[in-house]
Amino acid sequence: MILSGQGRRQRIPGTFKRGCVTYLNFKAPLLWTSTFYSTLAVILLMMKFHLSILVVCVSNALALVAPRAAAVDCPPNKLDFRKCIPYVENKDIDDISFSLYTWTKTEAPDSPSADSEYLKPLQLAAATALPVYAKLMKTKTDFNEPDQSVCSIRVAGYGLDKEQGDVKSVQQSLAHELYHCVQRTFGIGQPIPTSRLPNNWWFEGSAEYFGNIFFPNTNPAHMQHYHPRFPLYAQDPSIGYAGALFFQHLSNALNSDEVIHKWVVGRKDTESSTPESEQQKLSFDNFITKAFPSFATQFTDGLIRYQDYTPVVSTYQAETRYKELILPRKPGVYKFTTWVYPFTILSKVKMTFPTKRKITFIYKAPDAQDSSTVLRYRKVTDTTWKTAAKGADNKVDDDCSELLFLATSTSGVVVTEPFPVTLTFTVQRKAPKKRKVKRDDPVDNPIPTVNPQDNPDLGPSVNDPEEITVVSLDPDDGDDDEEGDSCSNKCIVGTWNLDIPSMQAFLTERLSGVSAATITNLAVTGSSSLIVKASLSSNMTFNSLDIGYDGSASGFSFHTVIDITGSVAGTIQLGDNAFTWVDPQSQGTVKTTTTVQGFGDPIEMDLPVEKQYGPTTQVQYTCKENKLQTSGYVNGAFTWAYSWTREGGEVGA
């Protein structure tokens, strides 16, 4: 007797115009899973040294497969009252006999209802996957079912719309479901549904990974929907299927399929009833905790790849918060706090360091979380991440001016909010050098602050700002080793006019890098100029400068217009490719209007120019001959960017 039960169905919205459903029936209660596909319905039965597939397609006007034999009773299944027509019978695949059947039409018992396009690919998919799976099975005869020799799968689909990728998607689905049969030989059935499905990430995720071994990057590709702000064990947007991405990373990190499979079947009798219990289990699993920090960094860098080496294009990669901060040059001790939640990829930070300084850092998490918190960092120009030493000084390389930081936790301690990880930086002067003239240290921004861009609808939120704060400052000894390079100083002197085409590209790039939103259609009108004299007195003016762009984030679309009319004047104090204004005089207004689609009236905000172009603004610049790019940071947070062309073309004019 075949027992069956119905479980939940899963779909990635917008994947197909019409849905199709994959049913998995392992001849046991409550063992149905589902995935969406196009123009196909299949029943698959794996028996003792025997595998048979039953294919059905309804509402289909396409060519039907020619019957290979007369209609017969279908192999035992939930719908065995239907009639079937054999397509392939008793084909040996690695000591497993393979058969393929189609249902007949209910209104025409001698006519097959399957679309012929899918029959041969299904046969090929079984021939591809089964020899590999046969080596992974504990036995080919015991599927932990009432009939120990049978593992049955039914794949059902509906619709007329077909795309080129559908065939491979259905093949991948078959390979996915066949791996569940492998799991069954170890006594692992589909976990009973519980709150937020804490077992789906490994049960469905591993099957999705193995299906992608043979048919990578198909549609729908659940790996693409891994969400960094949800824990590994609670991938709600994909109902757990996106956990496959973690297994794909394990493979990229040179773990064999046999090693991955061994871990999966080791989960027998270890199901979790809640996400919290799964979190605690994973926190004691060295195989997971060791791999998670590198999984996080590879995810944010977009370097996780399918078996065919094509990158997994993440739908939610931008949901990892990205911040840019500048560490002040003034010798002293500074602190920065980032935020972490167990088994998430919450926040990545780019820190710009002053040159001609000796810089070290240490990091610390709350005591209950500290031992399971890992901080990784790399140069912006590299792809290799280092793991920071815990409880000891980490040295910033002399030739490194920009580092990326990412902290992760594999803690089993249940928390309701992200917790802080504090980085403490010590900035020291290098060996003193003799100077003929003493000058004051440049005015640095002592407390740059970054405000997190929360998405309240997705994952845990951060209530406190990420910021750099001053712990202590060293006494001023008059040393002048922080003066900017003389060539760089000379380059910035001159009259500069706004280069609108270059600015549009530059600002789009900067906004996309620091925001979770996707920025498009950025357009600039109006004019602006920057005059820097040899005395370093300066004047920046804005004449009806309008910056408009479209954006989208977390399902919302918006349009923003920034209008600036005004000026800022004052002496600039130079550092290495950076400057601040000394006692600036600003006038005018920055008007920002944002219209969110579906939210009625626009959101308007007016700020005095001095709030964005004033004493708390640090400006990073790149100057080469007649081209200048400037990026403004207010209290440490990126705020604006401009591209300029020199008027007259003479350096230092």
What confidence tens digit (pLDDT) does each residue in 140-184 have?
A: 666 655 566 667 777 665 443 445 457 888 899 899 999 998 998
Can you read off the two tokens belonging to residue 477?
């000894």
Q: What is residue 465's predicted lDDT score, i.e. its pLDDT?
A: 46
23 C-beta neighbours (distance < 10 Å), count: 25
Task: Decide if 653 is inside a domain.
Answer: no
Q: Are residues 38 and 177 in the same domain?
A: yes
Return phi, psi of residue 272, to 5°.
-105, 140
- Decide if 184 contacts 203 (C-beta within 8 A): no
Q: What is residue 165's predicted lDDT score, i.e. its pLDDT?
A: 53
Q: Which residue has the tokens 């031992």?
A: 371
Q: Which of 190, 209, 231 is the last residue of a domain?
A: 190
**Range scoring the smallest mean pLDDT among 141-155, 204-218, 438-452, 598-612:** 438-452
Task: Decide if 559 is inside a domain.
Answer: yes
**Range scoring the smallest mean pLDDT among 12-26, 48-62, 156-170, 638-652:** 12-26
Region 215-239: what's the mean pLDDT? 91
Q: What is residue 466's predicted lDDT score, i.e. its pLDDT?
A: 62
**Range scoring the smallest mean pLDDT among 117-121, 181-185, 480-484, 534-538:** 480-484
Q: What is residue 104's predicted lDDT score, i.e. its pLDDT?
A: 85
Q: Are residues 65 and 186 in the same domain?
A: yes
Show the domain range for 276: 200-317
What is the DSSP pairing of strand 321-326 with strand 347-352? parallel
Q: How confident is the model at residue 11 (pLDDT cuts 50, 70, 90)?
A: very low
Asked if pLDDT for residue 16 goes beyond 60, the answer is no
What distance lies between CA 45 and its chain's CA centroid?
37
pLDDT digit string, tens, across residues 100-145: 788 888 888 888 877 777 888 888 999 999 999 999 998 766 665 5
Q: How confident is the model at residue 207 (pLDDT cuts 50, 70, 90)?
A: very high
Q: What is residue 399's predicted lDDT score, i.e. its pLDDT?
A: 66
Q: How confident is the model at residue 374 (pLDDT cuts 50, 70, 90)?
A: very high
Region 328-341: what's the mean pLDDT? 94
Q: Are residues 378 and 354 in the same domain?
A: yes
Q: Which of 271, 301, 317 is the last residue of a domain?
A: 317
Residue 143, CA atoms < 13 Å, CB-side half-sphere? 28
Q: What is residue 140's predicted lDDT score, i.e. its pLDDT?
A: 67
- Decide if 383 contacts 301 (C-beta within 8 A): yes
- Decide if 232 contacts 245 (C-beta within 8 A): no
pLDDT digit string, tens, across residues 268-313: 999 999 999 999 999 999 999 999 999 999 999 999 999 999 999 9
- Decide if 265 contacts 183 (C-beta within 8 A): yes
Task: Decide if 651 is inside a domain.
Answer: no
Can you read off the two tokens belonging to residue 154?
């039914």
One-letter amino acid of 515? S
Q: What is residue 535's predicted lDDT score, i.e. its pLDDT?
A: 85
Task: Decide if 230 is inside a domain.
Answer: yes
Asked if pLDDT for residue 264 goes beyond 70, the answer is yes
One-letter amino acid of 306? Y
- Decide if 482 contacts 575 (C-beta within 8 A): yes
Task: Decide if 331 is inside a domain.
Answer: yes
Q: Are residues 67 and 19 in the same domain?
A: yes
Residue 472, CA atoms < 13 Å, CB-side half-sphere? 4
Region 458-482: what's the mean pLDDT? 60
Return phi, psi of residue 261, to 5°.
-60, -40
CA 458 to CA 225: how far, in whole Å? 13
Region 71-79: what's the mean pLDDT? 70
Q: Are residues 585 and 606 in the same domain?
A: yes
**Range scoring the smallest mean pLDDT among 204-218, 281-295, 479-493:** 479-493
- Decide if 648 contacts 493 (C-beta within 8 A): no
DSSP character for 517?
A: S
Asked if pLDDT for residue 457 goes beyond 50, the answer is no
Region 481-508: what's the mean pLDDT? 77
Q: Are residues 349 and 392 in the same domain?
A: yes
Q: Where are the alpha helices (DSSP H) in 343-411?
A: 367-370
Asked if pLDDT for residue 253 goes beyond 50, the answer is yes
487 C-beta neighbours (distance < 10 Å), count: 10
DSSP character for 264?
A: H
Question: How many residues would you count in the chain?
Answer: 653
**Range scoring the smallest mean pLDDT among 41-50, 88-97, 221-230:** 41-50
Asked if pLDDT for residue 61 goes beyond 50, the answer is no
Q: What is residue 43's predicted lDDT score, i.e. its pLDDT?
A: 41
Q: Are residues 239 and 329 in the same domain?
A: no
Region 550-575: what's the mean pLDDT? 90
Give the SS3 label for residue 558.
Answer: strand
- Decide if 484 contacts 621 (C-beta within 8 A): no
One-letter amino acid of 619? V
**Range scoring the smallest mean pLDDT among 64-78, 160-174, 211-225, 473-487:** 473-487
What strands, in cross-sheet order, belong to the sheet with 72-73? 20-23, 151-157, 42-47, 50-55, 96-103, 83-93, 72-73
Q: What is residue 69's predicted lDDT score, i.e. its pLDDT?
A: 67
Return phi, psi of residue 21, to 5°.
-125, 135
- Decide if 182 contacts 144 (C-beta within 8 A): no
Region 454-481: what's the mean pLDDT? 57
Q: State the chain's mean pLDDT as an integer.
A: 80
Q: What is residue 433's predicted lDDT score, i.e. its pLDDT?
A: 56
Number of structural domains, the chain? Answer: 4
Regarding predicted confidence, which is higher, 551 or 166? 551
Task: Decide if 367 is inside a domain.
Answer: yes
pLDDT digit string, tens, across residues 625-648: 899 999 999 877 889 999 999 987
Highest mean pLDDT among 30-44, 51-65, 255-269: 255-269
Regarding predicted confidence, which is higher, 484 or 555? 555
CA 250 to CA 260: how far, in whole Å? 8
One-letter amino acid of 41? A
Q: Are residues 166 and 256 in the same domain?
A: no
Percent of the chain with pLDDT over 90: 50
Q: Are residues 180 and 221 in the same domain?
A: no
Distance between the two ends of the chain, CA-based, in angstroms? 92
Task: Decide if 652 is inside a domain.
Answer: no
Question: Which of 32, 324, 404, 299 is CA-nearest to residue 190?
Answer: 32
CA 207 to CA 214: how far, in whole Å? 12
Region 73-80: what's the mean pLDDT? 66
Region 51-73: what's the mean pLDDT? 50
**Range scoring the smallest mean pLDDT among 54-63, 89-98, 256-265:** 54-63
Asked if pLDDT for residue 221 goes beyond 80, the answer is no
Q: Which of 170, 190, 210 is the last residue of a domain?
A: 190
Give the SS3 label for residue 276.
Answer: helix
Q: What is residue 432's predicted lDDT score, i.e. its pLDDT?
A: 61
Q: Are residues 284 and 169 in the same domain?
A: no
Highest mean pLDDT among 30-34, 477-481, 628-632: 628-632
Can you read off the two tokens belonging to residue 500?
């609108």
For 205, 342, 458, the CA distances from 415, given in Å and listed in that order, are: 25, 8, 17
Q: How confident is the model at residue 42 (pLDDT cuts 50, 70, 90)?
A: very low
Q: Are residues 338 and 469 in the same domain?
A: yes
Task: Decide if 480 is inside a domain.
Answer: no
Q: Are residues 24 and 123 in the same domain?
A: yes
